[in-house]
Each structure stands twice: as C-alpha cells, then as structure tokens.
C-alpha cells in the first residue's frame, strides 16, 4: 500500500522556492470554496489591490496567473508579440535565453544583446541595438537574473525602450518584494514574477502587470494570441473589477488564499522595510562568507541581496558539498547553471527566509562541511 507523503523540514536557501511561513501554510488548509463564489471574488479584488501596491503600479491589469513564473513569462510574450515582429532580447544568463526561445516560437525575430554571465545588461549595447533595428516592437530583459545573482538597471532600460517607442517586457521573478521595482515610475510595460521567491508563497502562481500601452497593444492585435489559456483578453473577463465574472478557468483557490496571506504579511512589513531587511541579511552573509575564505561572484554594485552568487574554491566538489548540506543539515543551496555549473553556489535569502537565523545556520553548516 502506498503511504502518504510527509516531507522533512528543510531550510530552503537556494534560488527558489524559499521558506514559507506557517501563516501562509495555514492559509492553504482553509476550506475550499468555488472559484466564482462571491466571497472568492472579493478575495480576488483584494489580491489585485495588494499586487498593485507590490508592483508599485495603478494598472487595472495586474493579476496572478494560475501557473508558475514561466507561464508569466510566456503570457507577456504571446500577448505583446505577433509573428513577424522584431524583438530585442538581452541575455546575461539562463533566463534571457528562455526569452529568446519564446520569441522564436511565436514566429518573431530575436535580436540578441549579449553580456557576460555575471555582468548586468549594458544599456549602451541596448541603445545601439535599438538604433540599428528601427522596426523593433519590444525590448525584453531580465531585471534580476536568477542564474547569476545579477541586477540590471531596469529604470534605464525601460527609459531606452520608451524613447525608442517600443514596449518593454521585464522578468522580475526574483525581484518582486526583494529589491525596488517601480513599474509605473520606470515606465515598464509588462512585468512578471513568481510567488515562490521573495513573496515566500508556495510555487505555482505568476503575478503579472501590463501598462495601458501594453493593454492597447493586446486589444489591437490582428492575430489570435498563440495561447488560449494565457490570452489576456479572455483572462481579463475573469479578473475584471466587477461582480459578474466570465468563467475562464478554475483558479487554484487555496493557493490564492496563500498568496493573499503572503501579500498581507508584506503589507504589514512595508515594501521599504522588506528591501532593507533583504539588504541587511545579505551583508551579514557576505561578511560571514569572507571569514570562511569565500568570495562573491558579482561586483558589489550589481549583486542581488536576495540571491547570492558565491565562487566555489579550487578543489572543492560542488555536488558533494550541497549533498552534505542537505543530508546533514537539511539545508538546500543552489548549484550554478549552464556555463557556471561547478563554479558557483547560489545562496538565497528570499522573503520569509531572509533572516539572521538562516544566515547563521548557512555559515555554520558551510564551515563544518568545508572544514572536513
């Protein structure tokens, strides 16, 4: 007979998912109601309001997509890009490559702006690419590159897009609630994220927001959106701000309870306080890693406080260290991706998991394992 699954209690300090608080886990266990129940509709409105505050936007099309962050990425691309379009895609890590894949699957042309993995996107290269490709319709870039722990200058990149008359698509999966993201002030047009990073919610939901210019682009499309499920003209009917909702899909009701609770916790703390907390514990971790003889892989100016890329010392076996941390300390950290595999660890300090206890636990465990 198959037994029920009872996972161990892990400390999640990888690139995601992050630790989830008991408040959010408790919200998951509340009674399930219908996805068109008037009470759930009220919850939907509250989630929208809280997401608008988190994205720092007034956009009416700010919603949680009922799928993980990768679906948020696809939603932005399939709604704003049509076959035959030209799209400038910035790549300085794994997820810029996934943007390129989305562009090409739509039947559009991707013009790549490449930077070294570990460096931010170079705005000068982007400016030159925009000048060289006047038919460009969208500029796409990753704000917080999860594969490298690097922040790019989203404010400047959005301004370049705006001045060139193109829309911007911004990957903020690891950004939201961890570092500043001013969607309206910076003029970003489509910004997507995930719930399992700095929001410290369970995986499986993708917050996304579209500007008025992006909504106009969607409404004026001459071809159908490639994805029925992610077609915002259909999804808007379910998430519209009125009591009568058009049935589109069955929302993950209990997961929405969890997202709502995580957003309430963020509202209680305040965005500025959340940014400060992430930065404070990042600095504690960096100082402790230096004491262990470990160095950071990213220049100070562009480091992500919520995702720390650490150089693996010569002669240290990456997989062996991570396995020992998991087996002996129930502690998860992330491996390097792509060309950085075996060269870096990625240590997350995200959301609820960005605290002094986790910093000390990680440093102590690393000191023990590396000392052997």
Domain ranges, ordered by start, for the chain: 11-16+271-371, 22-266
pTM: 0.97
* Residue 285: burial class (beta carbons within 10 Å; 0-12, 13-18, 19+): buried
**CA 149, CA 15: separation in Å to the nearest integer?**
9
Q: What are phi and psi of 137, to 5 degrees?
A: -105, -25
End-to-end CA distance of the chain: 41
Rg (alpha carbons) of the chain, rounded to whole number: 21
**Digits of tens for pLDDT over the chain (372 positions)?**
999 999 999 999 999 999 999 999 999 999 999 999 999 999 999 999 999 999 999 999 999 999 999 999 999 999 999 999 999 999 999 999 999 999 999 999 999 999 999 999 999 999 999 999 999 999 999 999 999 999 999 999 999 999 999 999 999 999 999 999 999 999 999 999 999 999 999 999 999 999 999 999 999 999 999 999 999 999 988 887 665 778 899 999 999 999 999 999 999 999 999 999 999 999 999 999 999 999 999 999 999 999 999 999 999 999 999 999 999 999 999 999 988 999 999 999 999 999 999 999 999 999 999 997
- b (16+ CB within 10 A) / e for 350-364: bbbbbbeebbebbbe
What CATH code would you report for 11-16+271-371?
A: 3.90.1150.10
What CATH code would you report for 22-266?
A: 3.40.640.10
How big, in percent rounded to 5, are the helix, strand and coil portions of the chain?
A: 45, 15, 40
Pairing assessment for the beta strands 136-142 and 167-171 based on DSSP bridges: parallel
Which single residue is written with the structure tokens 């369970």? 202
Q: What are phi and psi of 313, to 5 degrees?
A: -65, 150
């Amino acid at each position: 007979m198959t037994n029920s699954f009872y996972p161990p209690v892990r400390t999640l300090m990888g690139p995601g998912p992050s630790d989830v608080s008991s408040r959010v886990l408790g919200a998951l266990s509340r009674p399930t109601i219908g996805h068109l129940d008037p009470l759930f509709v009220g919850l939907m409105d509250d989630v929208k309001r809280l997401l608008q505050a988190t994205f720092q936007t007034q956009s009416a099309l700010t919603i949680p997509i009922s799928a993980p962050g990768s679906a948020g990425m696809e939603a932005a691309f399939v709604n704003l890009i049509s076959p035959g379009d030209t799209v400038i895609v910035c790549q300085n890590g794994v997820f810029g490559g996934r943007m390129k894949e989305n562009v090409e699957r739509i039947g559009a042309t991707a013009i790549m702006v490449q930077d070294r993995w570990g460096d931010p996107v170079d705005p000068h290269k982007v400016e030159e690419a925009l000048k060289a490709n006047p038919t460009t319709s969208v500029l796409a870039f990753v704000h917080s590159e999860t594969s490298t722990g690097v922040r790019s200058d989203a404010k400047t990149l959005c301004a370049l897009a705006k001045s060139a008359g193109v829309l911007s698509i911004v990957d903020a999966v690891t950004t939201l609630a961890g570092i500043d993201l001013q969607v309206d002030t910076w003029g970003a047009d489509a910004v997507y994220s995930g719930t399992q990073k700095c929001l410290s919610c369970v995986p499986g939901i993708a917050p996304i927001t579209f500007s008025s210019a992006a909504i106009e682009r969607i409404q004026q499309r001459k071809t159908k959106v490639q994805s029925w499920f992610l077609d915002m003209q259909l999804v808007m009917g379910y998430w519209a701000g009125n009591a009568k909702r058009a049935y589109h899909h069955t929302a993950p009701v209990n997961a929405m309870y969890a997202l709502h609770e995580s957003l309430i916790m963020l509202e209680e703390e305040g965005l500025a306080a959340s940014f400060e907390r992430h930065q404070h514990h990042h600095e504690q971790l960096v100082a402790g890693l230096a004491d262990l003889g470990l160095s950071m892989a990213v220049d100070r100016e562009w480091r992500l406080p919520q995702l720390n890329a650490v150089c693996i010392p010569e002669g240290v076996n990456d997989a062996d260290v991570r396995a020992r941390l998991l087996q002996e300390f129930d502690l998860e950290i992330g491996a390097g991706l792509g060309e950085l595999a075996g060269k870096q660890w990625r240590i997350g300090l995200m959301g609820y998991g960005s605290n002094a206890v986790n910093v000390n636990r990680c440093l102590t465990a690393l000191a023990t394992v590396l000392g052997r």
